[in-house]
């Protein structure tokens, strides 16, 4: 999974589990950028009567670095508050919910959005220069229950897209899980169903199965003018200008102390402690070893240098020739050399520093040599007229790993990169194996994405049971 | 000892710890609600204090989203004594 249940501790705290982050220039208004952070993995749509919701006791944040030091210069904070309007019923709703103010809707959430501008005087200093509440009473839509309870869900959800001052749009609520992956096969000893006849433990090949099909997530989507994010509020026009590149990641934090009351309630005290984070997809999932995953989640990206070895000599790379004997002869030959002589600097660039100028003509999303998990987006690159789901590997510089769009096939892109497709960029003597450029788990999202904000599709109904 | 009486006693111990914690918190907490007499208003925000390092006499006081660390060997010694009292009660 991109970052779903990826670490032992956070797998027990789904409300705070950051599953995916997307950042892309808006295809409908290229002066703006969309930042999307998803939480709560594997939401079963029928999971009532206490359906999924954001945590009132969780601090959700989207962070942007605009000067290459992997520290947040702009932070958007989201805080939720739940209200029960009818304490006498066990029901989420006592009739059809036809509007965001419908009295039949019993358990509802509102939220605030706060923008913080942060300055840094030295390595360990953070100076909060401006804190601005953009709005404090925004409605989150209800979850999608079924034809009786939420008969016109798109209308409800669209009413919860809020336009704020300064050309900002925000949405926070349930969405279809837009990330697709054959998780059932991949975590069965790295099998890719379309090629599993070539696996060490072979089975007949078959089409991939999207393990997230029919599940929902909770999405925080923000659309802001690019100049709200850039250094000095500059207009990003030059692709090769470092000021055109931002780093994006999202976090979830909980207060350090939590007390459980005898009445079944709880209260919290203490400073916020980061319990989940995510920039690029699949980093904590696949790159970071199990024993370090919890620690990684609590770490700030600027302190990721300790994990550099896992990018330079990734375990998955070393497993591929073993799991698929004879399929990756060139990679297998490379791996006979000492690890110190075959550092995957291509993966370091793609996933940890950005790609510097001169590697791909007319492109860069380099934020400096500091190793840090941030999703790097060059804001001067316009949206693609014909996007490739393989992003940069498909010749589309507007896609992953230049930011990430909702439809980008990040599983295939990262599989191919790890298998060696991108290694010749830094090691011209290496020829990638033919199989590397074909790797895929064979999945796609089961329903189309929206062509407009918030881009992720409306959620599945509990009633329809769409896993079938 | 019955379950009820154990709970009552543990609650008393916790209340004592919190009250002691207030003394340390009121001196250095910035941005928290502090009354004219210098005491922290805790009616809306729970206050939690814990001994992070008994050997160093280090105590952490948390109220709202604020958190301060204090070194106060005497205070920590008193809290440790209360904790010992509580654990003795639980063990009995």
- Burial of A297: CB neighbours in 10 Å, binned 0-12, 13-18, 19+: buried
Q: Exposed, middle or buried: residue A174 (CB in 10 Å: 0-12, 13-18, 19+)?
A: buried
Quick one: what percent of chain B has pLDDT higher than 90? 36
Nearest chain A residue to B60 by CA: give it. A270
Smallest CA–CA separation between B63 and chain A, in Å? Answer: 5
Q: How many CA atoms lie within 13 A of A444 on its CB side?
A: 7
Confidence tier at B24 by pLDDT (50, 70, 90)? very low
Considering the entire predicted model, what is its pTM?
A: 0.91
Cα-Cα-Cα-Cα torsion A284, A285, A286, A287, nearest 10 degrees, comes to 0
**Is some CB atom of chain B closer than 8 A to the CB atom of A131?**
no
Looking at the complex, report in whole angstroms how far the Cα of residue B66 sits from the nearest Cα belonging to chain A: 5
Mean pLDDT, 10 residues at a time, over chain A (468 residues)? 89 97 98 98 95 97 97 98 96 98 97 94 78 97 98 98 98 98 96 97 97 97 98 97 98 95 92 97 95 97 97 98 98 97 98 97 97 98 98 98 98 98 97 97 95 98 84
Residue ranges of domains in chain A: 10-438
Higher pLDDT, A256 or B92: A256
Residue A100's pLDDT is 98
Minimum Cα–Cα distance from B8: chain A residue: A262
Strand ranges, E, within A92-215: 107-119, 127-139, 162-164, 168-176
Taking residue A153's Cβ as centre, other Cβ atoms within 10 Å add up to 22
Q: Which residue has the higher pLDDT, B3 or B43?
A: B43
pLDDT tens track for A254-296: 999 999 989 999 989 999 999 999 999 999 999 999 999 999 9
CB contact under 8 A, B48 and A272: no
- A336-364 residue pLDDT tens: 999 999 999 999 999 999 999 999 999 99
- Chain B hits for A259, CB-CB cut-off 8 Å, are 46, 48
Binning pLDDT at 50, 70 and 90, where does residue B92 land?
low
- Top residue of B22, B67, B68 to mutate, by most chain A CBs within 10 Å, is B67
- DSSP conformation letters of A251-270: EEEEEEEEEE-TTS-EEEEE
Tokens 């896609």, residue?
A399
What pLDDT does residue A200 have?
97
* Domain boundaries defined on chain B: 3-91
State how far residue B65 is from chain A, nearest Cα, in angstroms.
Answer: 5
Q: Does residue B43 carry a pLDDT above 70?
A: no
Residue contacts between A and B (CB atoms, under 8 Å): 30
């Amino acid at each position: 999974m991109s970052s779903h249940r990826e670490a032992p501790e956070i797998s027990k705290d789904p409300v705070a589990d950051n599953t995916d982050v997307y950042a892309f220039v808006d295809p409908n208004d290229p002066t703006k950028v969309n930042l999307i952070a998803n939480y709560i993995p594997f939401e079963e749509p029928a999971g009532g009567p206490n359906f999924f919701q954001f945590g009132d006791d969780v601090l959700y944040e989207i962070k942007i670095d605009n000067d290459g030091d992997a520290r947040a210069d702009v932070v958007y904070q989201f805080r939720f508050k739940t209200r029960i309007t009818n304490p006498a019923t066990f029901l989420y709703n006592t009739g059809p919910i036809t509007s965001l103010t419908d009295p039949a809707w019993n358990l509802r959430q509102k939220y605030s959005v706060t923008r913080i501008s942060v300055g840094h005087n030295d390595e360990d200093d953070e100076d909060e220069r401006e804190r601005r509440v953009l709005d404090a009473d925004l409605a989150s839509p209800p979850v999608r229950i079924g034809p009786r309870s939420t008969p016109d869900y798109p209308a409800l959800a669209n009413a919860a897209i809020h336009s704020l001052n300064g050309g900002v749009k925000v949405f926070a609520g349930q969405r279809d899980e837009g990330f697709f992956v054959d998780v059932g096969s991949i975590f069965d000893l790295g099998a890719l169903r379309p090629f599993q006849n070539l696996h060490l433990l072979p089975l007949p090949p078959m089409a991939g199965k999207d393990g997230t099909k029919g599940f929902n997530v909770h999405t925080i989507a923000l659309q802001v003018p690019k100049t709200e994010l850039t250094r000095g509020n500059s207009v990003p026009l030059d692709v090769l200008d470092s000021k055109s590149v931002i780093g994006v990641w999202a976090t979830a934090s909980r207060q350090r102390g939590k007390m459980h009351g005898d009445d079944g309630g709880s209260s919290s005290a203490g400073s916020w402690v980061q319990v989940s984070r995510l920039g690029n997809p699949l980093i904590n999932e696949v790159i970071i070893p199990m024993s370090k995953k919890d620690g990684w989640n609590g770490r700030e990206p600027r302190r990721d240098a300790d994990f550099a070895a896992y990018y330079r000599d990734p375990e998955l790379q070393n497993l591929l020739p073993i799991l698929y004997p004879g399929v990756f002869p060139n990679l297998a030959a490379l791996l006979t050399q000492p690890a110190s002589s075959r550092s995957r600097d291509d993966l370091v660039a793609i996933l940890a520093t950005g790609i510097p100028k001169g590697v791909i003509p007319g492109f860069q999303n380099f934020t400096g040599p500091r190793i840090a998990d941030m999703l790097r987006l060059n804001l001067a690159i316009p949206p693609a007229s014909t996007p490739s789901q393989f992003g940069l590997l498909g010749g589309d510089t507007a896609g992953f790993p230049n930011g990430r769009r909702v439809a980008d096939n990040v599983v295939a892109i990262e599989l191919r990169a790890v298998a060696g497709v991108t290694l010749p960029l830094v090691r011209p003597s290496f020829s990638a194996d033919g199989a590397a450029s074909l790797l895929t788990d064979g999945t796609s999202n089961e329903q189309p994405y929206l062509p407009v904000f918030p881009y992720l599709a409306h959620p599945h109904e509990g009633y329809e049971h769409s896993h079938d | 000892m019955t379950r009820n009486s154990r709970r009552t006693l543990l609650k008393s111990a916790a209340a004592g710890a919190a009250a002691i914690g207030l003394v340390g918190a009121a001196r250095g907490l910035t941005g928290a609600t502090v009354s004219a007499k210098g005491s922290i208003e805790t009616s809306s925000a729970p206050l939690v204090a814990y001994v992070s390092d008994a050997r160093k006499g280090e105590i952490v006081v948390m109220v709202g989203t604020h958190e301060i660390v204090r070194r106060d060997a005497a205070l920590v010694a008193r809290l440790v004594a209360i904790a010992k009292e509580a654990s003795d009660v639980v063990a009995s």
